[in-house]
Chain A
Amino acid sequence: MSIEVSHRAAKRRLALAGALGALLLGGCATTTPSATEHRPDEAWLERASDCCRGLDSLPLSPLAGHDERTLRFGPETPIHRFDTGPSPFHAMELPRGMGPLRLELISRVWRDDQGHLSLFAPLVLILDETGAIQRRFDWREFTYQPTRGLNDDRLYLSFGITPSARADRLVVLTSDAARAAESELLHPARAQARARHLAEPAVVDPVAPHLASGEVSLRVRPLGESDGLLAPLLGSGGAETVPTSPTQAEPPPEHEPVDSAPLDWRRMIRAALDSGDLELAMTLAEHAEREGESGTRRWLAERLERR
């Protein structure tokens, strides 16, 4: 029996020694450099000639009230030297006569064949008819959404806007400041730990450098329009209550109704509040009051007090 005990004790000491040895080795472990440390040469951006003399002369493409497109950025894209630095860009003319619109922009993390990550960090400008900047969304105003299913890590921005003389054009670009930064992504092992309520492993999260090339998905819908699986159950959305033509040539005066059909102001204000766009909600309330929907301002104030 004493031999057995001593044999087991020896085994234990061996295991402990192995454990401590491995721990020490772990402390000296060398690991491969992160795949995300790769940053391709972007000298093409500095070498590119300026396409335009100013914001008022950026080439425009028309945007429809229902629109989905992928904006690709790279050496083939027109480049302008903005105040924030040179950048490839896309400039689009916002459709008049559609009422308020909801714009969604998604910039996905790109993974190349070698596993290198990169991200286009967008800067969004709203220009008036003269090309002056009226509204700006920095890339930091995008929210980070980690990988979920087939949806890659992404930056997401959603905002409402009513096309008008003061909100005439949309420009998507990036900036020197955005490219100087990088985004830390949620490691899949952490995501799994959060979903399963496990202790999160102290894993180093991957980092995506911000590049001047990439893709941004743009989606345009009338504000308040329901879509997705529940749309048939929820009934018609705001778009159906604003029967206008996206090809309307002459925009209406800013303070006049876009057409004779009644606008469901409160539905649109609710949609603006639901998306957290208080500024748009207040603007819509002002519009509603001018259009004779008295009490809308008070109704909005009451809703805000309840929140």
Chain B
Amino acid sequence: MTSLRTRRFTLSTLTAAIALGATGAAQAADVDFYGFGRSGIGSTTGGGDQACFQAAGAPAKYRLGNECETYAELGLGSTLYEKDGKTFYFDSLVAYVNEQGNDFEALDSESDDGNTMALRQLNVQATGVIEALPNATLWAGKRYYQRHDIHLNDYYYWDLSGPGGGIENIDLGFGKLSLAWLRNTSEDTEFPDGRQNLANNTLDIRLADIATNPGGSLEIGYDYGAATLTDAQDRAGIDPKKGYMVTLQHTQGDWFGGYNKFAVQYATDGIIGGSGRANTASTTPEGDMIRVLNHGQVNLTPDIDMLYAAIYEDRDLDNGQGQTWLSAGVRPTYYWTDTQSTALELGYDRVDPQDDGMETADLTKLTLAQQWSAGRGAFARPVLRAFVTYANWDGDVYNAASESIDMGEYDGVTVGLQAEAWW
């Protein structure tokens, strides 16, 4: 019998079969509804609403039991054309965020409460339209573009999302090449025009899926950011801070039932501050940045899995306002049943300013959450949580999302309920 076990029904085969089956089915119903949402209620034990704990200057915070707003993304997409191996897929997504304070919270962006909505995706992706590159996808429009994040602390370390266009997944035999042109507009106070828009362009080149070792692969990326100046901006003496970022990322795919990602990034000048997005404004400080991170998910036993992350980032800026950020966190979860689990998240952040006269800020956060989820595993959703969070910090300031923590306090406890879903 063992000798017969030579064939594997792969996902790609299944996907192809589903696609072929769908061709003959009712096309009017071919709409993908997908999205993400989280919302809840919380309170600080000393009184007031829920405070969320983030070390001052840290780009992220550990998220379990530590999210104070309602956020949702609702997306609609559809294959509008499919014939002879050529497909055209339309995609769109609107994001919503509000403070989670009342029943009726307008998303009009007219007040300072942060309640707003945004069109974050609207693009068309055409696959197989270039005869010589049947697996490549041409695309244009606003798009979440090959985003890399750490789920544990909601940190996007490689994310150029925005309006753009390009071609991706060109099969080179030893890897897949993607080329993209993306835009993130910023302002420049040196420019005398009222809008002060500076058209920052980023050229993104990625070579992915390079096999390295059994179960492992490498991705290499180069991002070059620069602005194209108008004549008026030229005359105003705008001096855009061009920059580049190099990313080297290794993924181990058969890592104790999960995966491990290890990445090194080096960036200069105008591309330091935004996970690969350029901001070339005259006011952007020059300097360089190196970031080393490691994160992933493992199954420790059939009933315990764990998310983990470690980050080291050093921003060395010529104006002396850089910093070193050190972050580490784990979230082991024990599954009592397929629907009930207990999660514990421990996270630590330390921010050491480049200016020796400024105080180092560090923050430790510990959350215990009882969870009811639709299925077993770190990525099973929807999930409902009842949590208690304790945080302790050293330094005069931290990023609180509430007035419930007074200045001068050095720790806090919150309790709450949260729902989270993606589909």
Contact = CB atoms under 8 A, between A and B. Distances in A.
A197 B121 contact: yes
A32 B298 CA distance: 10
A104 to B, nearest CB: 15
A215 to B, nearest CB: 16
A176 B5 CA distance: 10
A147 B217 CA distance: 25
Given A195-B422, A274-B25, A307-B27, A207 B8 contact: yes
Contact of B423 (A34, A148, A199): A148
B215 interface: yes
B257 interface: yes
A204 B296 CA distance: 13
Contacts of B422: 192, 195-196
A189 interface: yes
Interface in A128-165: 140, 143-144, 147-150, 152
Contacts of B338: 150
A22 B356 CA distance: 30
Contact of A199 (B6, B146, B260): B146
B212 to A, nearest CB: 6
Contact of A276 (B1, B4, B25): B25
Contacts of A149: 374-375, 381-382
Given A144-B14, A150-B375, A192-B422, A31 B8 contact: no
B104 interface: no
Interface size class of A (residues with CB under 8 A): 35 or more
A144 B8 CA distance: 14
Given A186-B11, A276-B24, A34 B257 contact: yes
Interface string B252-277: 11111111111010000000000000
A181 interface: yes
A8 B147 contact: no
Contact of B5 (A22, A182, A194): A182
A16 B290 contact: yes
A180 B18 contact: no
Interface in B8-29: 8-11, 14, 17-18, 21-22, 24-27, 29
Given A12-B290, A183-B9, A203-B259, A23 B264 contact: yes
Given A27-B250, A150-B338, A189 B262 contact: no
Contacts of B374: 149-150
A184 B9 contact: yes
A204 B375 contact: no
A114 interface: yes
B251 A202 contact: yes
B94 interface: no
A287 B151 CA distance: 57
A81 B29 CA distance: 42
A102 B11 CA distance: 27
Contact of B1 (A42, A191, A202): A42
A224 to B, nearest CB: 14
B149 interface: yes
Contacts of A192: 151, 379, 381, 422
B26 A274 contact: yes
B319 interface: no
Nearest to B158: A199
A301 interface: no
Interface string A11-36: 11001101110110011110110110
A29 B24 contact: no
A201 interface: yes
B215 A31 contact: yes
Contacts of A196: 36, 147, 422
B67 interface: no
A195 B36 contact: yes
A300 B147 CA distance: 46
Nearest to B251: A202
Contact of A29 (B151, B213, B302): B213
B255 to A, nearest CB: 5
A174 to B, nearest CB: 13
B299 interface: yes
Contacts of B410: none
B18 A143 contact: yes
Contacts of B7: 180-181
Contacts of A140: 9, 17
Contacts of A176: 1, 4
A16 B288 CA distance: 14
Given A149-B374, A176-B4, A184-B9, A201 B259 contact: yes
A219 interface: no
B12 to A, nearest CB: 9
Contact of A198 (B22, B149, B254): B149
A189 B4 contact: no
A238 B344 CA distance: 52
B144 interface: yes
Contacts of A20: 264
B196 interface: no
Interface string B270-314: 000000000000000000001010100101001000000000101
Contact of B21 (A8, A115, A152, A276): A276
B264 A19 contact: yes
Given A23-B264, A144-B11, A203-B259, 18 more contacts: A12-B290, A19-B262, A19-B264, A26-B216, A29-B260, A113-B302, A149-B381, A150-B374, A180-B1, A184-B8, A184-B11, A188-B378, A189-B258, A189-B259, A202-B217, A203-B258, A204-B253, A276-B21
Interface of A: 4, 8, 11-12, 15-16, 18-20, 22-23, 26-29, 31-32, 34-35, 42, 113-115, 140, 143-144, 147-150, 152, 176-177, 179-186, 188-189, 191-192, 194-199, 201-207, 209, 273-276, 278, 307
24 contacts: A11-B314, A19-B262, A19-B264, A27-B213, A29-B213, A29-B216, A31-B215, A34-B254, A34-B257, A42-B1, A149-B381, A179-B1, A184-B14, A191-B379, A195-B422, A195-B423, A196-B147, A197-B121, A198-B144, A198-B147, A201-B251, A274-B25, A276-B22, A276-B24
